[in-house]
Amino acid sequence: MALAFDEFGRPFIILRGQEQKSRLRGLDAQKANISAGKAVARILRTSLGPKGMDKILQSPDGDVTITNDGATILEQMDVDNQIAKLMVELSRSQDYEIGDGTTGVVVLAGALLEQAEGLLERGIHPIRVAEGYEMACRIAVEHLEHIAQKFEFGVTNIEPLVQTCMTTLSSKIVNRCKRSLAEIAVKAVMAVADLERRDVNLDLIKVEGKVGGKLEDTELIHGIVVDKDMSHPQMPKHIEDAKIAILTCPFEPPKPKTKHKVDIDTVEKFQTLRLQEQKYFDDMVQKCKDVGATLVICQWGFDDEANHLLMHRNLPAVRWVGGVELELIAIATVREGGVYTPCILRGHRFLAGLVREKSFGTTKDRMLYIERCANSRAVTIFVRGGNKMIIEETKRSIHDALCVARNIIRNNSIVYGGGSAEISCSIAVEAAADKYPGVEQYAIRAFGDALDSIPMALAENSGLQPIETLSAVKSQQIKDNNAYCGIDCNDVGTYDMREQNVFETLIGKQQQILLATQVVKMILKIDDVISPTDY
């Protein structure tokens, strides 16, 4: 791209390969961008809320995903429009920062874009719209702090946390078991949380799944579950007070690389080589025994002969355990004072009260449970379910619930859900609009209307009349001056979200509004779209 000047000194841009590019400018560019963003939001709109619909997505290689999680839907959709990609990024950032509210953030951004379109048509400059949105966003975020409440819970009183996780799970496919899954998620987070420092390391929670059984069989294990079995069927399946040798180095003698050649032309040479290999392996086994190990967990494999030897020398072993799992096992089983150094044979420092192999159903599926670990901070949530899709969706839902519990431990302020917080912000924003004399007040009012689209979508998805329900709820909020009235999606019979126990974290809601506003402002500021033409 180069900037040139014509004979009157007016600048113009020369694009290389001009004929191959298409270009949209000014209002056309903004309108095209807005409609791309709106299209993405429209897809997610029907998935919002407890009665939201699920989507089925098929990948090019035939894998099927069923979900109503906004971030996952967008992740799996193959969008190639730049603005649509921005919306995908938007829900990804919400997922990254907060872990929940990924659908809501996109729906809100879509509504903001739709309102902006109307304003642009009325001749308001995009920058003024962007500025108005910015002011309104600030008002809404501050207002959320006013209506937020402190949420009390403790180690002995986890019920409030369970209730919050249940709100998140109620909009997912797994809502049949929301109570038990919420309890599992909260217990897992409490097990790894450092309540004094208000810190939760979600890496210590492993979510593992296996097809089979029922969703109700999902359990929390204070320890690690690995999808592996003992390397030999005759090895013990139940080891009490295991002393584990964790090997990140290969158990076997080093194999020649492709560049090297081993010349064996006589039987003697072959036998020497074999004996040497055996000796190497024997030494390794002896080393493990010397440090007192009663179980070897190995990152690499070993052949059947070695396996046989291990069985004879009475040293149970597990092979091909992934690096991440190995690390988790090490963290969980490392004895106090012991140091975990990868690649070094330090069997005696890793202790587990019980290591057992468990088989499932009539299949030959077996898993290894490492429990009663010396340092029991790492836990595993073991998901069961009828098919792979359910397991994957359950894992995603549990991830959301874990994030919600973590967010509350980090910051225990909450706002009520069901669109009540949005309605309350919308009232506050519209009231504030009157104080601004400039053109921005139109944008501020439009922001308020966009906030209303969340409760509207919730009502619509629950089969209610959107406009009537919204006006009923809004007028009740104004009449009673309470910010807890929201959409009664499940037909409980009350608008009061406090009674329905539907709440979300304050930081999650604030983040939704901030991120959506940021993206919409960015889209509004684009007035030139230069892209290669499709042939």
- The 3-state DSSP class for residue 414 equals strand
CB of 146 to ligand ADP, least distance (A): 18
- Which residues contact residue 6 at a Cβ distance below 8 angstroms, ignoring those fewer than 6 apart? 12
> Is 102 among the residues that bind ligand ADP (CB under 6 A)?
yes
Q: What is the DSSP string of 130-142?
A: HHHHHHHHHHHHH
Nearest C-alpha neighbor of 169 from the set 49, 46, 44, 76:
49
Considering only residues 235-294, where is the footprint of ligand ADP by CB under 6 A? none
Residue type, 143: H
Neighbours of 367 (CB within 10 A): 18
CB of 100 to ligand ADP, least distance (A): 5
Q: Determine the interface stretch with ligand ADP among 223-231, 265-273, 278-286, 411-419 (rule: CB under 6 A).
A: 411-419
- Name the token pair of 195: 């309540």
Q: What CA–CA distances, in Å, run from 204 to 168, 247, 331, 341?
A: 21, 21, 9, 18
| CA torsion, ordered 232, 237, 238, 243, to nearest 10 deg | 20
Applying CB under 6 A, among 40, 41, 43, 48 the residue interacting with ligand ADP is 48
Q: Quick check: 193 and 180 in contact, CB under 8 A?
A: no
Q: Quick check: 31 and 113 in contact, CB under 8 A?
A: no
CB of 458 to ligand ADP, least distance (A): 6
Q: What CA–CA distances, in Å, run from 165 to 186, 362, 408, 428?
A: 8, 34, 10, 28
Is the CB of 288 or the CB of 456 nearer to ligand ADP?
456
258 is catalytic: no
449 is catalytic: no
Angle at 384 between CA 371 and CA 185, to 5 degrees: 65
CB of 499 to ligand ADP, least distance (A): 11
> Is 70 among the residues that bind ligand ADP (CB under 6 A)?
yes
> 366 - beta bridge partners?
359
CB of 65 to ligand ADP, least distance (A): 15
DSSP conformation class of 217: G
| Paired sense of beta strands 199-200 and 193-194, if any | antiparallel
Applying CB under 6 A, among 201, 490, 514, 518 the residue interacting with ligand ADP is 490
Q: Determine the interface stretch with ligand ADP among 102-110, 120-128, 146-154, 179-187 (rule: CB under 6 A).
A: 102-110
> Is 49 among the residues that bind ligand ADP (CB under 6 A)?
yes
Considering only residues 377-406, where is the footprint of ligand ADP by CB under 6 A? none
- Give the separation between CA 199 and CA 377, rounded to whole angstroms: 13
Question: Nearest residue to ligand ADP, using CB?
Answer: 417
> Is 104 among the residues that bind ligand ADP (CB under 6 A)?
yes
Q: Quick check: 223 and 379 in contact, CB under 8 A?
A: yes
Applying CB under 6 A, among 67, 103, 115, 412 the residue interacting with ligand ADP is 103
> Is 99 among the residues that bind ligand ADP (CB under 6 A)?
no
- Name the token pair of 103: 């659908």
> Is 489 among the residues that bind ligand ADP (CB under 6 A)?
yes
Q: What CA–CA distances, in Å, run from 523 to 30, 86, 495, 500, 516?
A: 7, 9, 36, 37, 11
> Is 507 among the residues that bind ligand ADP (CB under 6 A)?
no
Angle at 137 between CA 132 and CA 138, to 5 degrees: 105
> Is 132 among the residues that bind ligand ADP (CB under 6 A)?
no
> Is 357 among the residues that bind ligand ADP (CB under 6 A)?
no
User: How many residues sit close enough to ligand ADP to count as binding (CB under 6 A)?
Assistant: 27
Where does 355-505 have alpha helices with state H? 388-410, 420-433, 440-461, 466-480, 497-500
- Give the separation between CA 351 and CA 354, rounded to whole angstroms: 9
> Is 506 among the residues that bind ligand ADP (CB under 6 A)?
no
Considering only residues 162-201, where is the footprint of ligand ADP by CB under 6 A? 167, 170-171
- Long-range Cβ contact pairs of 193-198 (< 8 A, separation 24 or more): 193/406, 193/409, 195/155, 195/409, 198/409, 198/410, 198/411
> Is 101 among the residues that bind ligand ADP (CB under 6 A)?
yes
CB of 171 to ligand ADP, least distance (A): 4
Q: Determine the interface stretch with ligand ADP among 122-130, 279-287, 323-331, 413-421 (rule: CB under 6 A).
A: 413-421
> Is 458 among the residues that bind ligand ADP (CB under 6 A)?
yes
Residue type, 448: G
CB of 162 to ligand ADP, least distance (A): 15
Is the CB of 30 or the CB of 453 nearer to ligand ADP?
453
Catalytic residue, candidates 67, 69, 95, 248? 69
Is the CB of 37 or the CB of 104 nearer to ligand ADP?
104
> Is 417 among the residues that bind ligand ADP (CB under 6 A)?
yes
CB of 69 to ligand ADP, least distance (A): 6
Q: Quick check: 390 and 205 in contact, CB under 8 A?
A: no
Burial of 2 (0-12, 13-18, 19+ CB in 10 A): exposed
Is the CB of 94 or the CB of 294 nearer to ligand ADP?
94
> Is 126 among the residues that bind ligand ADP (CB under 6 A)?
no
CB of 420 to ligand ADP, least distance (A): 8
Residue type, 236: P
Q: Determine the interface stretch with ligand ADP among 49-57, 110-118, 320-328, 382-390 (rule: CB under 6 A).
A: 49-57
> Is 470 among the residues that bind ligand ADP (CB under 6 A)?
no
Catalytic residue, candidates 95, 100, 229, 400? 400
Applying CB under 6 A, among 52, 132, 385, 466 the residue interacting with ligand ADP is 52
248 is catalytic: no
Is the CB of 46 or the CB of 307 nearer to ligand ADP?
46
- Name the token pair of 402: 């874990």
168 is catalytic: no
Nearest C-alpha neighbor of 426 from the set 403, 449, 402, 453:
449
- Active site positions, annotated: 69, 102-103, 400
**Site of interaction with ligand ADP (CB under 6 A):** 47-50, 52, 68-70, 100-104, 167, 170-171, 417-419, 458, 486-487, 489-490, 500, 502, 504
